[in-house]
A and B are shown apart, each in its own frame.
Chain A
Amino acid sequence: MGLLLTDDEKMLKESAEGFFADKAPVSQLRALRDDRDATGYSKQLWADMAEMGFAGVLVSEEQGGFDMGFMAAGLIAEQMGRNLTASPFLSTSVLAATALKSAGDEKAGKLLPELVSGKTVMALAVDEGRKHNPDAIEMTASPSGNGFKLNGKKAMVVDGHMADQIIVAAQTEDGLTLFVVPADAQGLNAERTIMVDSRNAARMVFEDVEVTGEHVLGEVGKGDEVLNTVLNAGRAVLAAEMLGASAQVFEATNEYLKERKQFGKIIGEFQALQHRMAHLYCELELARTAVYAALTVLDDNPKSAAPFVSMAKAKLGSVAKLAALEAVQLHGGMGMTDELDIGLYLKRIRVAQELLGDADYHITKITN
């Protein structure tokens, strides 16, 4: 298992580090939030990310992409986590790109180059209830003429408020099937939901949305396998984003402990606080290993990746939460203010915990 970064990976990490710190620092997220931006991310940033090759990181070279693999996607996401960067990277460059690649049909051949250039943004519509549960999809695709009629509801469709195309999972008589539906399709209603982390998703209602065989991604009734691949890709990359956010908030807290004075002392001198930080340091080291190991398995041996991805997402679910909670507590009253960034990390981590399955979900999944 590739436990150490290769020279190429180190170079990518450094270039992503500089890029996001420069082009998409936390202040950008604040501005998007405070201006109530309609898109929810900077279009200039997304164009720059395409320019850098980040948008096409998973897309093959024949489709104009860079085919750098999941480890690379994770290293990019880690830096986005550090800066709380808002962008359609997860929805489009990871989830949609993996779905199109896995299906490998004509439609994929047409859409993938548009993802690489940043021209098309896509969203994945899977969950329907309060929690992530791809085994409980109730939306139906019933036969109608030459095609299907889609009926049902979707929740937490990340970037669904402004995506051009929606990949939606629905039940047909033959089993779960994925469809690529234009966002402006007749009968599709998307309500933008601004989330606690100032990012955006959508609740969607599909009412007799007419689709044909051309809209089917992959094969009818065989959506399960593609969906599993897609979800695992998203989970591992999201875990990498959580790693970046946790590491950043941890380092900020460590610096604060070296500055803040109370009782005539630097508070970092207090052993009660030192031990909490030292414990968190150890947990973060394990979390880092877990994320990199899961990304490596996805690249090297995707068929056996599922349990490793679940272990990584579960581990980050608990460690990132711990990092965020400790950061608020150790910053004292300042940690409760909107002025400091700490709260923004707490909020993003809360959303990332839920998204694509929390620790409880993955612990149960590993067991079954």
Chain B
Amino acid sequence: MSDLEQFRAETRAWLEANCPPEMRTPMKRETDGCWGGRNWVFKSEAQKLWLERMAAKGWTAPSWPKQYGGAGLSRAEDKILKQEMKRINARPPLLSFGIWMLGPALLKFGSEEQKMRYLPEICRGEIRWCQGYSEPNAGSDLASLATKCEDKGKYFLVNGSKIWTSYADEADWIFCLVRTDNSGKKHHGISFILFDMETPGVSTKPIKLISGRSPFCETFFKDVKVPKENLVGERDKGWSIAKYLLTHEREMIGDSGNLKPVAQMVAEMGVTPDATLQAKITQLTIDEWAFSQTMSRMLAEAKAGASLGAKSSMLKYYGTELNKRRYEVMMDAAGYDGLEWESERSNDGDLARLWLRTKGNSIEGGTSEVQLNIIAKHILELPGT
């Protein structure tokens, strides 16, 4: 038996023995998952047990080095773990911006002290992070951000506000882009800092979306004092960290690899499509297949030594637009039933709310238009205006 075969066998046996049955059922929505953090109330004993067991194995962030709370798995082992989890429908033990976004940035740009301080508690789900990027006047044009960060000798003083901060009202800490220098070009003078959301002067206000749900907040900073050791990387040069992290985020948002095919969703609604609807579903089926295969191909290419680079914009653009098309067709299929907003039958308008939520997919993390700009500039090498 090869090493990988043995790893698979051991992983399978461990998961069978350790994944509680309640954690082998699909999550209906994000908020059903475990987000962890100082104030997290576990939704069940099984959820707590599953997190603790996986964290002890280093499998909440399997590819991170062991000393930071990961398991140091190779790409091949990581893939096997994912496959084996999928095989028994195991839920992810932890949903975490710390793992998806901050962690990779800290691993690349953070100091050794910062890695040791933050990464292990991220892996154990003891700290919940939010991302302070967009501002009311810095959306697509993110680099024009203006949240002021002044060097006061012993500490930084932060004043300003952020918007579209996911779950800011539930997060413990924030990783935040701030302006430390205003004198040069807009990409210069941005710094990447970390601070506790309980610091005096930090406040949040949820934003109610068209879906009726509030996954985002406005976040305000008034004379917030931040210790100087909380600066990640070099001062004024945070834009490169910001971009690195956005690339990660784009690959994640674009990832519809695990989405349930629209044909299956429509079948589960109990709908028998007529010929016109069926043609639309089949067209989507083709694109779902071609997209997920393209995603795998690009990741395989990246593994073979190439960097995804601007291609992550392709995945983000196509994946989010595809998801919007999927939900339009599901609404077509559901008809009047899909329009119910407040009923048990509709699970409180679940489909309609998800449909509305997808409209933000092509806006958040860089709009579709920004992704097309990136493709035109960096892949097609068309001239700038």
User: Which residues of A are in contact with B by a Cβ distance under 8 Å?
Assistant: 1, 3-4, 254, 257-258, 265-266, 268-271, 274-275, 277-279, 281-282, 285-290, 292-293, 311, 314-315, 360, 363-364, 366-367
Count of chain B residues near A, Cβ 8 A: 33
> A363 to B282, Cβ gap below 8 A?
yes
Q: Inside 8 A of B384's CB, which chain A residues have their CB?
A: 269
B372-385 toward A: CB 8 Å interface, digit per residue (1/0)? 11011001111111
Q: Inside 8 A of A288's CB, which chain B residues have their CB?
A: 294
> A281 to B290, Cβ gap below 8 A?
no
Task: Indicate if B327 sits at the interface (CB-CB under 8 A).
Answer: no
Cα A1 to Cα B282 in complex, Å, equals 22
> A287 to B290, Cβ gap below 8 A?
yes
Q: Which residue of A lies closest to B377 (CB)?
A: A274
Q: Inside 8 A of A315's CB, which chain B residues have their CB?
A: 286-287, 290
Cα A277 to Cα B296 in complex, Å, equals 23
Q: Which residue of B lies closest to A319 (CB)?
A: B290
> B375 to A290, Cβ gap below 8 A?
no
User: Which residues of B are in contact with A by a Cβ distance under 8 Å?
Assistant: 278-279, 282-283, 285-287, 289-291, 293-294, 296-297, 300-301, 304, 314, 317-318, 369, 371-373, 375-376, 379-385
Return B259 CB to nearest CB of chain A, in Å: 16
Instruction: Name the one of A271, A281, A311 contacting B380, with C-beta atoms under 8 angstroms.
Output: A281
> B383 to A268, Cβ gap below 8 A?
yes
Return A365 CB to nearest CB of chain B, in Å: 9
Cα A270 to Cα B289 in complex, Å, equals 33
> B369 to A311, Cβ gap below 8 A?
no
Instruction: Name the one of B293, B301, B375, B382 contacting A269, with C-beta atoms under 8 angstroms.
Output: B382
> Which secondary structure dominates chain B's binding surface?
helix
> B300 to A3, Cβ gap below 8 A?
yes
> B294 to A274, Cβ gap below 8 A?
no
Return A63 CB to nearest CB of chain B, in Å: 33
> B286 to A311, Cβ gap below 8 A?
yes
Pairs A–B under 8 Å by Cβ, sample size 29: A1-B293, A3-B297, A257-B382, A258-B382, A258-B383, A269-B383, A271-B376, A277-B376, A277-B382, A278-B317, A278-B372, A278-B373, A278-B375, A278-B376, A281-B380, A282-B314, A285-B294, A286-B290, A286-B294, A286-B318, A289-B293, A289-B294, A290-B286, A293-B293, A311-B290, A360-B279, A366-B282, A366-B285, A367-B278
> B376 to A274, Cβ gap below 8 A?
yes
Return B187 CB to nearest CB of chain A, in Å: 20
Q: Inside 8 A of A286's CB, which chain B residues have their CB?
A: 287, 290-291, 294, 318
Cα A289 to Cα B296 in complex, Å, equals 10
Q: Which residue of B lies closest to A363 (CB)?
A: B282
Cα A268 to Cα B381 in complex, Å, equals 9
Q: Which one of A257, A282, A285, A288 has the highest number of Cβ atoms from chain B below 10 Å of its Cβ?
A: A282
The 10 closest A-B pairs by CB, nearest first: A274-B376, A278-B375, A278-B372, A3-B297, A286-B290, A268-B382, A289-B294, A290-B290, A275-B372, A289-B293
> A290 to B300, Cβ gap below 8 A?
no
Q: Which residue of B lies closest to A292 (CB)?
A: B297
Q: Which residue of B lies closest to A311 (CB)?
A: B286
> B380 to A285, Cβ gap below 8 A?
no
Q: Inside 8 A of B373's CB, which chain A residues have their CB?
A: 271, 274-275, 278
Q: Inside 8 A of B380's CB, which chain A residues have their CB?
A: 254, 274, 277-278, 281
Cα A288 to Cα B296 in complex, Å, equals 13
* Extra 7 A-B pairs, beta carbons < 8 Å, given A258-B383, A290-B290: A3-B296, A254-B380, A275-B372, A282-B317, A293-B293, A311-B285, A314-B286
Cα A285 to Cα B296 in complex, Å, equals 12
Q: Inside 8 A of B314's CB, which chain A residues have their CB?
A: 281-282, 285
Return A362 CB to nearest CB of chain B, in Å: 9
Q: Inside 8 A of A279's CB, which chain B residues have their CB?
A: 317, 372
Cα A311 to Cα B284 in complex, Å, equals 11
Cα A279 to Cα B304 in complex, Å, equals 26
Q: Which residue of B lies closest to A254 (CB)?
A: B380
Q: Inside 8 A of A282's CB, which chain B residues have their CB?
A: 314, 317-318, 375
Cα A360 to Cα B278 in complex, Å, equals 12
> A289 to B290, Cβ gap below 8 A?
yes
> A364 to B279, Cβ gap below 8 A?
yes
Return A179 CB to nearest CB of chain B, in Å: 34
Cα A287 to Cα B371 in complex, Å, equals 19
Q: Which residue of A lies closest to B279 (CB)?
A: A363
Q: Which residue of A lies closest to B296 (CB)?
A: A3
Return B289 CB to nearest CB of chain A, in Å: 6
Cα A325 to Cα B285 in complex, Å, equals 24
Q: Inside 8 A of A367's CB, which chain B residues have their CB?
A: 278-279, 282
Return B233 CB to nearest CB of chain A, in Å: 31
> B278 to A4, Cβ gap below 8 A?
no
Cα A4 to Cα B296 in complex, Å, equals 10
Return A2 CB to nearest CB of chain B, in Å: 10
Q: Which one of A268, A274, A293, A315 has the highest number of Cβ atoms from chain B below 10 Å of its Cβ?
A: A274
Cα A102 to Cα B55 in complex, Å, equals 55
Q: Inside 8 A of A285's CB, which chain B residues have their CB?
A: 294, 314
Q: Inside 8 A of A266's CB, which chain B residues have their CB?
A: 383
Return A227 CB to nearest CB of chain B, in Å: 23
> A275 to B376, Cβ gap below 8 A?
yes
Q: Which residue of B lies closest to A4 (CB)?
A: B300
Return A252 CB to nearest CB of chain B, in Å: 13
Q: Inside 8 A of A258's CB, which chain B residues have their CB?
A: 381-383
Q: Inside 8 A of B382's CB, which chain A residues have their CB?
A: 254, 257-258, 268-269, 274, 277
Cα A4 to Cα B299 in complex, Å, equals 10
Cα A367 to Cα B280 in complex, Å, equals 11
Cα A360 to Cα B297 in complex, Å, equals 27
Cα A287 to Cα B375 in complex, Å, equals 17
Q: Inside 8 A of B317's CB, which chain A residues have their CB?
A: 278-279, 282
> B304 to A4, Cβ gap below 8 A?
yes
Return A323 CB to nearest CB of chain B, in Å: 14
Cα A4 to Cα B283 in complex, Å, equals 25
Q: Inside 8 A of B282's CB, which chain A residues have their CB?
A: 363, 366-367
Cα A144 to Cα B111 in complex, Å, equals 89
Return A315 CB to nearest CB of chain B, in Å: 5
Cα A289 to Cα B286 in complex, Å, equals 11
